[in-house]
């Protein structure tokens, strides 16, 4: 699937509408496991085959992410769990998670937001190397990208890690892609992708977007999940709403980000290789379904 979409996105004369269509057809809903037991009410709202990602919550550990992933599999969703390396306490737990990942054959593997590792792994690459040693690597792995940087990690370190992960993917024949953190500026996203392409990082990019138009809701979820850096970034975006002229102080139109992104892809170089969207729903499924429908039906 990645190869097919990658080919489409690399067509040099792809139109704005074609790009929107391609982005919308590789659309993932990320949901947050707020409850220990999977919410059947929430999961059953997705049609079989829908791409769904189950977020990791370092405060609660990865067990509930795996429990939700198993239930999503039972409902025949195209599910990928998020695994935070610093939240995995030992090899026994990693083998449990690896068994689930082997079935989904896909996962997003990140370092995690907790400063102190709960176990022996401090980075996503270290965890992937251990999964390779245990023969538990999935076929497809997503890794994190930061168009606006990461205040805890210097840019040169982030780039060096992406290069190392790309080499790891080639060595182990993994379909690896980058999922970006939420960024409300299409210009910043495109400029960051151009930058990494110039550094010979050619991994496909899936752009992370907010699935809800309510900034206060986003901030509440980030506070609950402990993402301090993202909280400040979103609070700063309140000013952006006025300059864009698209909503009240706590709201904006996520589809405008996608529209702007598609236009910039259409007018940009052919090697951007931006292949899809990942909507961070913050469990506001009504808004996220509406967003996806708006993108599908845009002129």
* In a domain? residue 128: yes
Return the DSSP state at 141.
E
For residue 99, give the CATH number of its domain: 3.20.20.220
Whether the pLDDT of residue 290 is over 50: the answer is yes
Report residue 102 as tokens.
């082997």
Domain-located, residue 298: no
List of E strands, the chain? 27-31, 51-54, 78-84, 106-110, 140-145, 175-180, 205-210, 274-280
Phi/psi of residue 230, nearest 5 degrees: -70, -30
Q: Which domain holds residue 29?
A: 2-293
CB 211 within 8 A of CB 281: yes
299: in domain: no
- Contacts of 179 by beta carbon, 8 Å cutoff, 6+ apart: 108, 142, 143, 144, 145, 205, 206, 208, 278
What DSSP state is assigned to residue 90?
S
Helix (H, G, I), strand (E, B), or coil: what is residue 25? Answer: helix
Provide the terminal-to-terminal Cα distance of the chain, rounded to the nearest Å.
Answer: 25
Residue 29 belongs to a domain: yes
Instruction: Write down the pLDDT at residue 282.
Output: 86
pLDDT of residue 258: 92
Residue 242's pLDDT is what?
Answer: 37
In a domain, 214, yes or no: yes
pLDDT in tens, 248-284: 334 457 888 899 999 999 988 888 999 999 999 988 8
Q: How many domains does the chain have?
A: 1
pLDDT digits (tens, 9 = 90+) for 158-214: 999 999 999 999 999 999 999 998 887 899 999 999 999 999 999 999 999 988 766
pTM: 0.85
Mean pLDDT on 21-33: 93
d(CA 235, CA 138): 36
> What SS3 state is found at 239?
helix
User: Residues 217-233: pLDDT tens digits?
Assistant: 666 665 655 454 455 55
Quick check: is 171 in a domain?
yes
For the chain, the helix, strand and coil percentages under 3-state DSSP, each to the nearest 5:
50, 15, 35
Evaluate whether residue 175 is within a structural domain. yes
Q: Which of 257, 269, 283 has the alpha carbon at shortest distance from 23?
A: 257
Q: What is the pLDDT of residue 252?
A: 57
**Closest by CA position to 292, among listed 183, 181, 157, 284:** 284
Asked whether residue 68 is assigned to any structural domain, the reply reads yes
205-210 and 51-54 strand pairing: unpaired
């Amino acid at each position: 699937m990645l190869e097919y979409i990658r080919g489409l996105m690399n067509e040099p004369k792809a139109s704005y509408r074609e790009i929107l269509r391609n982005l919308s057809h590789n659309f993932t809903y990320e949901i947050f496991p707020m409850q220990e037991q999977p919410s059947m009410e929430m999961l059953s709202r997705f049609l079989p085959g829908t791409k769904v990602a189950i977020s990791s919550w370092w405060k609660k550990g990865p067990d509930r992410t795996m429990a939700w992933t198993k239930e999503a599999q039972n409902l025949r969703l195209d599910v990928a769990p998020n695994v935070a390396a610093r939240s995995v306490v030992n090899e026994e737990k990693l083998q449990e998670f690896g068994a689930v990942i082997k079935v989904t054959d896909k996962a997003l593997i990140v370092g995690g937001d907790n400063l102190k590792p709960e176990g022996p792994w401090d980075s996503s690459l270290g965890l992937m190397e251990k999964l390779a040693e245990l023969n538990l690597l999935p076929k497809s792995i997503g890794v994190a990208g930061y168009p606006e940087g990461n205040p805890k990690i210097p840019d040169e370190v982030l780039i060096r890690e992406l290069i190392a992960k790309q080499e790891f993917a080639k060595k182990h024949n993994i379909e690896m892609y980058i999922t970006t953190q939420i960024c409300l500026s299409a210009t910043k996203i495109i400029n960051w992708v151009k930058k990494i392409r110039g550094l010979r990082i050619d991994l496909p990019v899936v752009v992370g977007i907010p699935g809800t138009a309510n900034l206060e809701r986003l901030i509440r979820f980030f506070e609950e999940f402990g993402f301090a850096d993202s909280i400040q970034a979103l609070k700063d975006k309140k000013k952006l709403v006025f300059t864009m002229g698209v909503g009240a102080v706590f709201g904006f139109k996520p589809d405008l980000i996608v529209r702007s992104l598609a236009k910039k892809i259409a007018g940009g170089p052919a090697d951007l290789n931006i292949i899809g969207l990942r909507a961070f729903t913050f469990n506001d499924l009504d808004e996220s379904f509406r967003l996806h429908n708006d993108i599908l039906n845009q002129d």
